[in-house]
């Protein structure tokens, strides 16, 4: 018997170009397990996107498996969603080439991430770096999703994806579902521990807490976290005046489920010396079960292989239905 209501489809991916960190977890990742109950979800490890920047091959393989294990440890049940490696589904690259031919040079040259990455990697401004929004559009459109979860820095990619889909549909009819951006439940926007004016990032490892990091290293980073040079030295949420302390309050609140006001009351009169280690301990305990489960999964390579193989098969089936339709529309002879 058919289901009375069919779930809406959602797709999202993260590059395995660096280890997952606290900002990834307290931002989008923690909310993904709830999304798999509400939507048909496809989560992929975007390894094709990583090579626009030079990667160490052994490190990329390690990080891809580690990221898969971390996803599962964070609550993404492979029985309830599709987990796969992007490069295992050839349709991503195949559709990307077709979409390259329906994406305008001017559109690509306006992409802010191209400008940012070109500035950071001036010795390697390659064609993939320029055209990767077409690959990102292929990643999305292959699965005919209703929604794509986006953060502030990804809105431009969903916009260009919608533009490409509409352009193609205007020529050939309704081939692609035009996805809507999905603003997920507000995850915490976690800032760097040693530079609270910048987002937490793997490019600044001393201010970044990684999901697989040892508890003693996490504690060291929190004890050294930048607070503020004010004279009152009280634990008070005021992002403009006290960005360092406010960031720590946000992290502690996200880890414990307490409100900012409750955190302020808890540490009233105690100063930063007591507060910083307490935040560190809360994060150690939040991440401990994830790290331990991910480490256990990494010792079971057979299981991880079965997950990404099954995921690739499911993704391949759906992606190829879209690709066949596209190939027919543009006039390629059927194989």
Q: How many CA atoms lie within 13 A of 180 on its CB side?
A: 6
Task: Calculate ∠ Cα 133-74-283, nearest 5°.
Answer: 105
Among candidates 242, 140, 247, which has minimal Cα distance to 198? Answer: 247
Catalytic residue list: 117, 199, 202
The alpha helices in 51-204, defined as continuous H runs, are: 57-73, 91-100, 105-109, 112-120, 127-141, 155-172
Among candidates 91, 208, 71, which has minimal Cα distance to 141? Answer: 91
The alpha helices in 15-126, defined as continuous H runs, are: 22-26, 32-38, 47-50, 57-73, 91-100, 105-109, 112-120
> DSSP per residue over 251-299, as a string?
HHHHHH---HHHHHHHTTTTHHHHHHHHHHHHHHHHHHHHHHHHHHHHT
248 token code pair: 């720590």
Q: Looking up tokens 């994806």, which residue turns up?
A: 161
287 token code pair: 């991440």
- Whether residue 333 contacts residue 327, with contact meaning beta carbons closer than 8 Å, is answered with no
d(CA 310, CA 332): 29
> DSSP per residue over 5-26, as a string?
SPPPEEEEEE--SS--BHHHHH
């Amino acid at each position: 018997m058919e289901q009375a209501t069919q779930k809406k489809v959602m797709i999202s991916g993260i590059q395995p170009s660096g280890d997952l960190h606290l900002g990834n977890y307290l931002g989008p990742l923690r909310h993904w397990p709830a999304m798999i109950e509400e939507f048909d979800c496809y989560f992929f490890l975007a390894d094709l996107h990583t090579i626009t920047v030079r990667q160490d091959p052994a490190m990329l393989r390690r990080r891809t498996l580690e990221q898969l294990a971390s996803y599962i440890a964070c609550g993404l049940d492979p029985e309830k969603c599709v987990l796969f490696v992007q490069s295992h589904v050839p349709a991503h690259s195949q559709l990307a080439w077709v979409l390259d031919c329906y994406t305008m040079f001017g559109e690509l040259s306006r992409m802010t991430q191209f400008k940012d990455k070109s500035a950071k990697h001036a010795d390697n401004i390659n064609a993939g770096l320029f055209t990767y929004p077409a690959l990102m559009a292929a990643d999305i459109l292959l699965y005919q999703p209703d929604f794509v979860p986006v953060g502030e820095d990804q809105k431009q990619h969903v916009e260009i994806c919608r533009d490409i889909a509409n352009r193609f549909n205007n020529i050939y009819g309704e081939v692609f579902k035009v996805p809507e951006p999905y603003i997920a439940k507000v995850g915490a926007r976690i800032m760097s521990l040693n530079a609270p004016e910048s987002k937490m990032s793997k490019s600044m490892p001393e201010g970044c807490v990684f999901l697989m990091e040892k508890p003693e290293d996490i504690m060291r980073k929190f004890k050294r976290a930048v607070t503020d040079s004010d004279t009152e030295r009280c634990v008070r949420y005021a992002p403009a005046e006290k960005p360092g302390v406010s960031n720590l309050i946000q992290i502690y609140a996200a880890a414990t489920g307490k409100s900012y006001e409750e955190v302020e009351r808890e540490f009233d009169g105690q100063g930063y010396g007591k507060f910083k280690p307490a935040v560190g301990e809360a994060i150690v305990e939040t991440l401990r079960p994830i790290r331990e489960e991910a480490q256990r999964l990494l010792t079971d390579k057979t299981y991880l292989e079965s997950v990404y193989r099954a995921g690739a098969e499911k993704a391949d089936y759906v992606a190829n239905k879209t690709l066949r339709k596209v190939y027919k529309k543009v006039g390629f002879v059927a194989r």
